[in-house]
C-alpha cells in the first residue's frame, strides 16, 4: 500500500461496519498517511437488526480519528439485488450464496462505483483477503479467508482496492485494536447473511415462501418420508425431514435395510419438478464431478489454467477444503469424491503456483462460477 507521491495524499474510501476489523483498518490507514473517509453502508433495517448500533460504533471510530464519515443508503438496491436473488434461487430449488451477491452488487458494485466517481484512489474493506502483484490471493489468516466471496471482482477493482488486514490473523487484529484503545476490540464478529446478520433462515424463508410439503425419496425413487418445502434444505443436510417407511432402502443386491438399522440419511439432490427431496447415505452422498456455469475469471484463464503454471484447486463452500481438480470446458473433475456439492452454490478456483505447496500462503484466486448438474 504505497502512497502516490509526496505531493498527493492518496484518498481512500473505507467501508466501515462498526466491527473490529474495519475499525482497525481505519487506524492502520490513517497511521500510514492515507486521506481516509469512513463510509457506512446502510443496507438493511428490521427488528433485531444491529444497524443502528453498528453505525454508531463506526461513527465513534471516525470521530476519534478525525476523519470524514459518510452514510450511503443502499437499502433499496440491497433488497432488489441480494434479498430477492436469495428468495428466487431458493424457490427454484437451488442453494444460493447471498454474501457473494452482496459483495458483487453492493460492496464492489454500488460502493466501489460511488468511490470512483468521487475521485477516491482506492476503496478499502476489512475483508480477510490479499492483493499482491495485482492478483487476489488467500491472506495470512487462512481460517478467515474471504476470497470465496470475492471471486466476482474484476481486475480494475483489484487495482483500486486495499485489504489492510491481509497480513494479519484475527488474534493479531484484536490485539492491535486493544493496543490502540479501539472500543469495539472485543465486539463479536458478525455472522449469518451479509448486512442482515444471524437470523433464523428457516423462518426467513417461511415468512416469504411459506411451506410446500412433498415426498422424500431414496435414490431408487421409493417414497420413504416427507418434507416441508425444498427451500428449507441444503445438500448434505441430515435432519429436518421425516422418514416414515419401515423398510427404507433397497441395496444393490435387492435387499432392504430396516429402519432400526439405517444410518443417517443426507440430502443429496432436490427434484423441483416433482417436489421431491432425494436422500441417501454412504457412497451415495459422494460425487467427484459437477458442471459449472456463468464462469467469471479475474484474469485471463488461459494464463493460469495450465499444468505448467501450477496445481488447480476448487472450493465449493466458504472456508471449505481446497480440492484438487481439473476443469475441462464447463466440467469440474475432482481427484477425490466429496459430499455436499450443492447446485446454485459457487465453485471458486485457485492456483497454487509451480514451486509452491498449498501451505505456502501463495494461493491465487482465479475466479469461479455457479455449480450446476
- 293 and 307 part of one domain: yes
- 71 and 174 part of one domain: yes
Any domain includes 145:
no
Find the CATH number of the domain harbouring 112. Answer: 3.40.50.620
Q: Give the structural domain span for 339.
A: 287-372
What domain count does the chain have? 3
- 31 and 175 part of one domain: yes
Residues 6+ apart with CB under 8 A from 203: none
Q: Which residues pair with 371 in a beta bridge?
A: 292
> What single string gives the DSSP state of each residue in 132-153?
ETTEEE--S-TTT--GGGGTT-
- 113 and 229 part of one domain: no
Place of cell 497454487: 352
pTM, two decimals, is 0.90
The pLDDT value recorded for residue 51 is 76
Q: Which three cell numbers stand for residue 61?
A: 471510530
Q: How far apart, in Å, are the Cα atoms of 141 and each of 13, 171, 267?
A: 24, 10, 32
Find the CATH number of the domain harbouring 254. Answer: 2.30.30.280
The pLDDT value recorded for residue 371 is 97
The pLDDT value recorded for residue 1 is 47
What are the φ and ψ backbone dihedral angles of 223, each rounded to 5 degrees?
A: -75, 120
Any domain includes 23:
yes
Is the CB of residue 313 less than 8 Å from the CB of residue 323?
Answer: yes
Which portions of the chain are predicted below pLDDT 50? 1-3
The pLDDT value recorded for residue 267 is 94
Is the CB of residue 46 less than 8 Å from the CB of residue 80?
Answer: no
pLDDT digits (tens, 9 = 90+) for 326-370: 999 899 999 999 999 999 999 999 999 887 777 777 899 999 999
Task: Compute, in degrees rounded to 10, the torsion defined by CA atoms 207, 208, 211, 214.
Answer: -150
pLDDT digits (tens, 9 = 90+) for 189-244: 876 667 666 678 889 999 999 999 999 999 989 999 999 999 999 999 888 888 88
Find the CATH number of the domain harbouring 328. Answer: 2.40.30.10
- 28 and 112 part of one domain: yes
Residues 6+ apart with CB under 8 A from 267: 233, 234, 235, 236, 237, 238, 241, 277, 278, 279
What residues are labeled active site? 102, 194
> What single string gives the DSSP state of each residue in 255-271?
-EEEGGGPPPPEEEEEE
Q: How far is CA 282 from the centre of its chain?
A: 28
Amino acid at each position: 500500500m504505497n502512497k502516490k507521491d509526496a505531493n498527493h495524499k492518496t484518498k481512500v474510501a473505507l467501508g466501515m461496519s462498526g466491527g473490529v476489523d474495519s475499525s482497525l483498518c481505519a487506524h492502520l490507514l490513517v497511521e500510514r498517511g492515507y486521506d481516509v473517509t469512513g463510509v457506512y453502508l446502510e443496507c438493511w433495517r428490521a427488528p433485531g437488526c444491529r444497524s443502528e448500533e453498528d453505525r454508531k460504533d463506526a461513527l465513534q471510530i471516525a470521530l476519534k480519528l478525525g476523519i470524514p464519515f459518510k452514510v450511503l443508503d443502499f437499502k433499496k438496491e440491497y433488497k432488489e439485488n441480494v434479498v430477492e436473488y436469495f428468495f428466487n434461487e431458493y424457490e427454484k430449488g437451488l442453494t444460493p450464496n447471498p454474501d457473494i451477491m452482496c459483495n458483487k452488487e453492493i460492496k464492489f458494485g454500488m460502493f466501489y462505483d460511488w468511490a470512483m466517481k468521487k475521485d477516491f484512489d482506492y476503496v478499502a474493506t476489512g475483508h480477510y483477503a490479499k492483493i499482491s502483484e495485482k492478483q487476489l490471493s488467500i491472506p495470512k489468516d487462512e481460517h478467515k479467508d474471504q476470497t470465496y466471496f470475492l471471486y466476482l471482482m474484476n481486475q480494475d477493482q483489484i487495482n483500486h482496492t486495499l485489504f489492510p488486514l491481509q497480513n494479519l490473523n484475527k488474534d493479531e487484529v484484536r490485539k492491535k485494536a486493544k493496543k490502540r484503545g479501539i472500543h469495539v476490540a472485543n465486539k463479536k464478529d458478525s455472522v449469518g447473511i451479509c448486512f442482515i446478520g444471524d437470523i433464523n433462515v428457516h423462518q426467513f424463508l417461511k415468512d416469504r415462501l411459506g411451506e410446500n410439503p412433498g415426498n422424500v425419496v431414496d435414490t431408487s425413487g421409493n417414497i420413504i418420508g416427507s418434507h416441508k418445502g425444498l427451500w428449507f434444505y441444503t445438500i448434505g443436510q441430515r435432519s429436518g425431514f421425516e422418514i416414515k417407511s419401515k423398510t427404507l432402502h433397497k441395496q444393490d443386491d435387492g435387499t432392504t435395510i430396516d429402519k432400526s438399522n439405517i444410518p443417517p440419511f443426507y440430502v443429496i439432490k432436490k427434484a423441483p419438478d416433482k417436489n421431491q427431496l432425494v436422500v441417501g447415505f454412504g457412497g451415495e452422498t459422494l460425487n467427484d464431478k459437477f458442471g459449472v456455469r456463468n464462469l467469471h475469471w479475474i484474469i485471463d484463464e488461459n494464463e493460469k489454467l495450465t499444468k505448467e503454471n501450477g496445481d488447480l484447486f476448487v472450493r465449493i463452500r466458504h472456508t471449505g477444503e481446497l480440492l484438487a481438480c481439473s476443469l475441462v470446458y464447463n466440467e469440474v473433475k475432482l481427484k477425490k469424491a466429496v459430499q455436499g456439492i450443492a447446485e446454485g452454490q459457487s465453485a471458486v478456483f485457485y492456483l497454487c503456483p509451480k514451486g509452491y505447496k498449498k501451505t505456502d500462503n501463495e494461493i491465487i484466486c482465479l475466479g469461479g462460477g455457479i455449480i450446476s448438474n
